Amino acid sequence: MKKYILSLALLYSIAGFSQTTFKAIVKDSETQQVLTGATAQLISSNYITSTNINGYLEINNLPLGKQKIKVSYLGYKTQTFSFILPLADTLQLSMQKNKDSELEEVIVQSTRTSRSIQNTPTRIETIEAEELDEKSNMKPANISMVLHESTGLQVQQTSATSGNASIRVQGLDGRYTQLLKDGYPNFGNFASGLSILETPPLDLKQVEIIKGPASTLFGGGAIAGAVNFISKTPKITPENNFILNQSNIGQSNLGAYSSQRKGNFAYTVLGLLNFQKLYDVDGDSFSEVPKSNNFTLNARFFYYPSTSTTLMLGNSITKGKVIGGDLKTIAGIVDANHAYFEQNKTIRNTTTLEFDKQFVNKNTFKIKQSLSFFDRTIQMPNYQFNGFNTNAFAEVSYLVKKQNHTIISGLNMMYDNFKQSTSQLNAKLFTTGLYLQHTWDIIDAIKLENGLRLDNVSYTNTIYTKNQTFILPKVSALFKINDSWNSRLGAGLGYKTPTIFTEQTETNQYQNLLPLQNVVAEKSLGATFDVSYKSLINNNLLFTINQLFFITELNKPLLLQNLGTNYFFINAHKPVVSKGLETNVKLIFKNDFKAFIGYTYTHAQATYLPNNQFLPLLPKNKLNIALVYEKERNLKLGFESYYTGRQYLYNQSQTPAFWEFGFMVEKYLYKHFSVFINFENFTNVKQSNFKRVVNPPNNKPTFDDIWTHTEGFTFNGGIKIKL
């Protein structure tokens, strides 16, 4: 009996001190992909470890019995799992994504591979629907505010009276940035100066920005980069949004967006009306903001004959009239001292047709086509310019998806025909392109993307014809060092066919401009390199930083020259070189408080100039800071500040540096109803604070280069309804 009791006591003693090993694999609950670098904390001892590259987690020497472990991972809900040791097998821990997190998976479309942004070797920045919705409070009429406040981008106003503008990327002129709507390049040449002013944000899902060479996928014109405006797509749940906005400077906006899918059919419709009164902020009897009225109607219809097939037909029409200049002239009081005005009348109509078929093996065949017409009349005293631009685009592509390889190949054609009333500047452009891009997941931590495009371009005008062929290679690589660190490297060639439509000729309304003669396409070599770091601090504070370096060399740049009263273009014998860096920092505390800091340093030089080689109207230093507090469907507060460094003007003088500030509030009064008010540039920075923009005589004025706000402080407010 004594022996039995001793044996039993020994057994309990061994059991009490027995230890075992905990083994688990941490996965995404939806995709079942393993999560590398997930943090695991044992509740009983506060012991902390992390998963390896295979998502595997192991903790040794644990006592038998019930235990708890807390697992956290960037972009996922922190979860606590209970288990009882010993375990019969390796435990499978499923983590759920935090739907409110900024790290929710974003699928990009610009690379055409349907990859998430985290797994795309090409560096792409996205502006999501939430930020687009916020910016629509500031300018419902167009997308210019979103682009103006993005690091590395600059919206350049090209006219003091009409307000026309272009978008610069990394210091290069707007003609080197390819603007696209859902991948369609219908915004170039004669239409380019008004494109961002005629693109409302109300029907956009996201904006994708590629900085650096992007010609391999998008062809000519993507030397500095590409900006792709991605439209919303219909869902089974209907979406009906309305906005009414009014500003202190006389702008009124009324917009509506509706979409829904029912069975095999779906639609999206956007309607927007914009009205603007003449506004003279400095009392010089010339408009800082022109009088305008325009409307936009975008409609797309979808048919889904099967779960793998989509047919889309869309049409967009925008019609507008803008007039600025001498206030008395516009009011009908015309005399010897009051005769100047500038009027723009435009009609833009774009039709798109798209067929998309996905096969069982996830390969995809796509055909897309667009036809765009742009009619514009510029009228001034004793001068009128009429132009009609026809743009046609067609593309066939095939996407192949393998386990570690994604291959996209395609053939596209683009036709651009510009006709002027006097026929002097008539010009045609026809491009045929073949492209191939291969994305290779070498290992989970290294992804390589390389591509090649072959373009044949024929351009002709009234006095000469030129044919050129371009071979455009590109390479991009993504290195996932660990869960916190990653890096991207990219380089490629680009080209831009000669065009008379530039910022300078737009500023001069194409007066006394001669046709192109004996010029060739501009060519470029560009590269970018960036490093990103992200970290979740105390499960409440998300910190991310991205450091980008860029360089572009543009050879044979097209220069505007004048001989007497006439203007013409030549190719420069030395290049333009733009290089610099961008720093982006983001802090998110409990998903409610957000801080963004962006700094851009741009050193761009025209090496063909003998003395001052800095490009005009380009600040070397820009800083943007934004602070946002948001309780979803309750309250949103935003404060923004921007610093713009000194710029050189065309006359070699320098501008002063300046700060500008803005503040916005949006409050939901009911579930589907909110009101907003926005104060823009409330420190009233404007160019006329330094010098009058309009130079006498008033009946035939000249205008200074536009380098900052002309309208000064403005505020606007309105209501939104989301059903």
3-state secondary structure 585-599: EEEEECCCEEEEEEE
Contact indicator for 426, 387 with CB cutoff of 8 Å? no
Beta-strand relationship, 427-443 and 446-461: antiparallel
Mean pLDDT check: name the lowest of 10-14, 145-149, 447-451.
Answer: 10-14
Q: Can you give the pLDDT at residue 366? A: 96
pLDDT in tens, 13-53: 444 445 688 889 998 887 787 887 788 888 877 677 878 86
Rounded to an integer, what distance in angstroms lies between the CA atom of residue 549 and that of residue 603? 12
Which amino acid does the sequence have at 207? V
Which amino acid does the sequence have at 109? Q
Q: Can you give the pLDDT at residue 38? A: 80
Q: What is the mean pLDDT of residues 513-528?
A: 95
Q: What is the mean pLDDT of residues 578-596?
A: 93
The H-or-E segment that residue 533 falls in is strand 522-537
Q: Can you give the pLDDT at residue 105? A: 60
pLDDT, the chain, mean: 89
Beta-strand relationship, 165-169 and 153-157: antiparallel
Q: Can you give the pLDDT at residue 351? A: 97
Contact indicator for 607, 597 with CB cutoff of 8 Å? no
Q: Can you give the pLDDT at residue 102? A: 44
Rounded to an integer, what distance in angstroms lies between the CA atom of residue 14 and that of residue 275? 85
pLDDT in tens, 387-440: 999 999 999 999 999 989 999 999 999 999 999 988 899 999 999 999 999 999
Looking at the domain that runs over 228-722, which CATH code has it been given?
Answer: 2.40.170.20
pLDDT in tens, 314-357: 999 999 999 999 999 999 999 888 999 999 999 999 999 999 99
Whether the pLDDT of residue 631 is over 90: the answer is no
52 or 273: which leads in pLDDT: 273
- DSSP string of 86-137, one letter each residue: SPSS-EEEEEPB-TTSTTS--B--TTSS--BGGG-SS--EEE-HHHHHHHHT
SS3 content of the chain, % helix, strand, coil (to 5): 10, 60, 35
Whether the pLDDT of residue 601 is over 60: the answer is yes
pLDDT in tens, 671-711: 889 999 999 999 999 999 998 899 988 888 988 989 998 99
Among candidates 229, 290, 251, which has minimal Cα distance to 140?
251
- pLDDT band at residue 590, thresholds of 50, 70 and 90? confident
Beta-strand relationship, 405-420 and 91-95: unpaired
Q: What is the mean pLDDT of residues 263-289?
A: 94
Whether the pLDDT of residue 531 is over 90: the answer is yes
Q: What is the mean pLDDT of residues 218-241?
A: 91
- DSSP string of 145-169, one letter each residue: HHHHTSTTEEEEE--TTT--EEEEE
Whether the pLDDT of residue 103 is over 60: the answer is no
Rounded to an integer, what distance in angstroms lies between the CA atom of residue 552 and that of residue 213? 8
For residue 600, give the DSSP letter: E
Is the bond leading into 185 cis (omega within 30 degrees of zero)? no
For residue 648, give the DSSP letter: B
Residue 226 is encoded by which pair of tokens? 């590409």
Q: What is the distance, to the nearest Å, from the Cα of residue 104 to the centroid of all Cα atoms in its chain?
A: 18
- pLDDT band at residue 1, thresholds of 50, 70 and 90? very low
Is the bond leading into 616 cis (omega within 30 degrees of zero)? no
Whether the pLDDT of residue 638 is over 50: the answer is yes
Rounded to an integer, what distance in angstroms lies between the CA atom of residue 537 and that of residue 612? 48
- Contacts of residue 210, defined as CB under 8 A and 6 or more positions apart, other chains included, come to 110, 122, 123, 124, 125, 222, 225, 226, 227, 228
Q: Can you give the pLDDT at residue 100? A: 47
Among candidates 42, 46, 99, 101, which has minimal Cα distance to 71?
42
SS3 547: strand
Among candidates 232, 300, 302, which has minimal Cα distance to 266?
302
Question: How many Cα atoms occupy the beta-carbon half-sphere of 107 within 13 Å?
Answer: 5
pLDDT in tens, 207-229: 999 998 888 888 888 899 999 99
Rounded to an integer, what distance in angstroms lies between the CA atom of residue 136 and that of residue 120? 29
CATH architecture of the region 2-95: Sandwich (2.60)
Rounded to an integer, what distance in angstroms lies between the CA atom of residue 659 and that of residue 708? 10
Whether the pLDDT of residue 670 is over 90: the answer is no
Contact indicator for 373, 347 with CB cutoff of 8 Å? yes
pTM for this model (two decimals): 0.85
Residue 144 is encoded by which pair of tokens? 């210019």
Integer-rounded Cα Rg, in Å, for the chain is: 29
Q: Can you give the pLDDT at residue 379? A: 95
Whether the pLDDT of residue 549 is over 80: the answer is yes
Q: Can you give the pLDDT at residue 336? A: 84
Question: How many Cα atoms occupy the beta-carbon half-sphere of 108 within 13 Å?
Answer: 22
**All structural domains of the chain with their residue ranges:** 2-95, 228-722
Give the E-state strand segments of 402-426 in sequence order: 405-420
- pLDDT band at residue 6, thresholds of 50, 70 and 90? very low
For residue 54, give the DSSP letter: T
Rounded to an integer, what distance in angstroms lies between the CA atom of residue 723 and that of residue 720? 10
Give the whole-number percent of the chain exceeding pLDDT 70: 96
Among candidates 435, 425, 508, which has minimal Cα distance to 462?
425
CA distances from 452 to 218, 411, 412, 471 (A): 11, 12, 14, 7
Q: Can you give the pLDDT at residue 678? A: 95
pLDDT in tens, 166-217: 888 888 988 898 889 999 987 877 877 677 777 888 899 999 999 988 888 8
Q: Can you give the pLDDT at residue 552? A: 96
Q: Can you give the pLDDT at residue 258? A: 97
SS3 557: coil
